[in-house]
A and B are shown apart, each in its own frame.
Chain A
């Protein structure tokens, strides 16, 4: 097994606080939500497990062999991403199973064989999953949007659509770069402050 300190990227002399924040930063990075529709979901899961174990080992060691600490983030939700939705149609159920086990091409073939008239919200959702796994995120986006429009009350479709939107709105690391003519809260404050300074420097104290 790897050295748990190395896994978290901290030194062995690090304080509990440092270890906790290192763990939190990593957990945020590997969080299953970032990889739900990604073909790398299982790998992210592995990583998550690794840091959970490392964190638990360290806390246990520091407590001198206390009871197993399991304050870790859950890492189990990502693997069942296409598995939890209820599916009345047996064909869709087997397509979900194919996607879950990574047989994307087979899933795609089955989806394409379903006639146009039977393509409901679930069809679009599953097709979105397939497209996302292929890396075709534009097709995936329009599929998820379609699924959401056809059945806005379904939490699964809504979640998928929202995930796509957040990836599209923000760059990695939450770096806002929609750019252009933005006017943030800060801009307004600075603007007011400048105006105030100008006013008072001319003698009149207008604001």
Chain B
């Protein structure tokens, strides 16, 4: 959806990196197989994380298989967990969230974006229909988010916790479904809630300048009137960093309570290195980070 949940490549072992890549490739392949060749373009890091975490927790066997990349037949790939249920879920979620993101763009994007979105709309709608049929619970969670978000943005009393609630709740309820018992369900809910918050906030910070120019809703807009000096801007960024740190920390604490059976190195890397690096780039790096690979 947004692509902020990334690994920090330099800190991974080579074998872990290879595994991560194979999960990524398999999600791409699954998208192609379940939906259409073009749906592969909505592949994102966020749902690679979702797939890795789900497969990491569940007991089902994960097979590795060699194959070739569809887009570059010269490149050999390793696939991991083809036909795995969690992989299919990750693909379905990608499709459903991509559809609602598109709808959102149509509602408040710029003219160019609107036109582009209209062009691909029928395809996205068809994929979503297929995914929703198979996983109605995901469709419900994401459509609830979209509705809630609309309401929240209209509320003049909206504070940032309220603004983040729809995204957080969506990811929480989606994650909760991955838990196999009561313990895991509760932990996954917490994990998803705070990770959802983190994603929402990092996206909001990243889009702040754009939203300001266009007059779109942004939860940080009220707090970011720092026209009058560099010092203010510095303290605003510091504030954002604190908000993000806390969400990351709470999600990580929840994650610590789950028994991870495989891919622990990768998921740890994302939490401890990947997210902080992305956060630093967005907050203190130059220009926009915006990962536009997901349309």
Contact = CB atoms under 8 A, between A and B. Distances in A.
B256 A137 contact: no
B254 A172 contact: no
A43 B183 contact: yes
A39 B250 CA distance: 11
B168 A135 contact: yes
Name the residue in B161, B248, B284 with the highest tally of chain A Cβ atoms < 10 Å from its Cβ.
B161
Interface residues of B, number: 39
A177 interface: yes
A179 interface: yes
Interface in B259-295: 271-273, 275-277, 279-280, 283-284
A137 B248 CA distance: 11
A171 B276 contact: yes
A173 B252 CA distance: 9
B86 interface: no
Contacts of A193: none
A135 B194 contact: yes
A167 B250 contact: yes
- Chain A interface SS verdict (over half): helix
A175 B242 CA distance: 13
B246 A164 contact: yes
A68 interface: no
B245 A38 contact: no
Contacts of B283: 179-180
Contact of A172 (B168, B193, B249): B249
Contact of A171 (B160, B186, B197, B272): B272
A168 interface: yes
A137 B162 CA distance: 11
A179 B168 contact: no
B190 A171 contact: no
Contacts of A73: none
A135 B159 CA distance: 14
B241 A178 contact: yes
Nearest to B182: A43
Interface string B206-235: 000000000000000000000000000000
Interface in A156-207: 164, 167-173, 175, 177-180
Given A131-B161, A167-B250, 4 more contacts: A39-B186, A135-B190, A137-B250, A180-B280
26 contacts: A38-B190, A39-B190, A40-B186, A40-B254, A46-B183, A131-B161, A135-B190, A135-B193, A135-B194, A136-B165, A137-B161, A137-B197, A137-B250, A167-B245, A168-B243, A168-B249, A169-B242, A171-B248, A171-B272, A172-B249, A173-B272, A175-B273, A177-B276, A177-B280, A178-B241, A180-B280
List of 3 A-B pairs having minimum Cβ-Cβ separation, nearest first = A172-B252, A136-B161, A168-B242
